[in-house]
Amino acid sequence: MRRLLMLAALSGAALTASCVQNYAEREVAQGTQPATLRLINAPADARIVVDGRDVGSVSQHAGGLPLTAGRHEIQITAAGQPLHTQAVFASAGARVEVRIP
Is 24 among the domain residues? no
Q: What range does the domain containing 75 cover?
A: 30-99
pLDDT number for residue 71: 96
Is residue 84, in this structure, part of any structural domain at all? yes
Of the candidates 75, 92, 93, the one whose C-alpha atom is nearest the C-alpha of residue 84 is: 75
CATH number, domain of 95, equals 2.60.40
How much is the mean pLDDT over the chain?
Answer: 83
> Is residue 20 scored above 50 in pLDDT?
no
Instruction: Decide if 58 is inside a domain.
Output: yes
Q: Is residue 15 assigned to a domain?
A: no
Q: Tell me if 100 sits within 8 A of 76, measured CB to CB.
A: yes
Residue 23 clears pLDDT 50, i.e. is over it:
no
85 or 25: which leads in pLDDT: 85
Residue 65 domain-assigned?
yes
Q: What percentage of the chain carries pLDDT values higher than 70?
A: 71
Q: How many domains does the chain have?
A: 1
Which amino acid would we find at residue 39? Answer: L
Kindly report, residue by residue over 69-98, the tens digit of the pLDDT.
Answer: 999 999 999 998 999 999 999 999 999 999
